[in-house]
Amino acid sequence: GLTSQPPLPGYASEILGSRAGFHNGDITRRTPFEDNSFNLIFSASVLEHVQNLPAAFAELRRLLAPGGVMVHSYHPFYCENGGHALGILDSPWAHVRLNRDDYLRYVGQFRPYECPEAEHWIRDALNPTPMNMMQKCLTDAGLDIRHWKAGMSKPGLLGLEQDIIKEAMEQHEGITLHDLTCNNVFFAATSI
């Protein structure tokens, strides 16, 4: 469940000029906050790790006050290094060229010392939702996408060859070339 911490330690509160508190919890479950509690909800590098996006967006929608704004930035799974530290294999886009079982088998065979942590990371901490499905989850939750910016990977996308694109699209239903070439998504949404 969600736990509440006291305001930031004195030095942090003083430096920031804030009496903000810290709350730890699971946004995919009902939080102890009242409906319409927040005018602004912000996250950075979080959504790529949330496994139950419909539940998360429903709760975020419940918490967002009328006229409030949600702002999120995330690093998509399907980009060149979307597997993050423990999920990056030994060649670019290898994590999207394999299905989940082969991905886990690869980690077990070629990275046995980090395998237990990497298996947990791959199964429970990476969200392979394509951008169009992320947008659908938002609108299904009653949120209106007001701004969506998908930042492109490095110029030329060195190494993204036709066979990689074909294999990735065969392994992962619903992904597009845009999913493979985008390295950061920034969006803002409001309540409908």
Model pLDDT for residues 10-42, shown as the tens digit of each residue: 555 666 677 666 677 899 999 999 999 999 999
Instruction: Give the global pTM.
Output: 0.85
Per residue in 46-78, pLDDT tens? 999 999 999 999 999 999 999 999 999 999 999
Residue 182 has pLDDT above 60, yes or no: yes
What percentage of the chain exceeds 70 in pLDDT? Answer: 86
Confidence of residue 137 (pLDDT cuts 50, 70, 90): very high
- Among the residues of the chain, which ranges form H helices? 10-16, 53-63, 84-87, 94-97, 100-110, 115-124, 131-140, 162-171, 177-181
**β pairing state of 38-44 and 64-74:** parallel
Name the nearest CA neighbour of 87 among 155, 182, 76: 76
Least confidently predicted of 9-18, 59-68, 93-102, 133-142:
9-18
Q: Which residues contact 163 (CB under 8 A, 6 or more apart)?
A: none
The residues pairing with 41 across neighbouring beta strands, listed in sequence order, are: 70
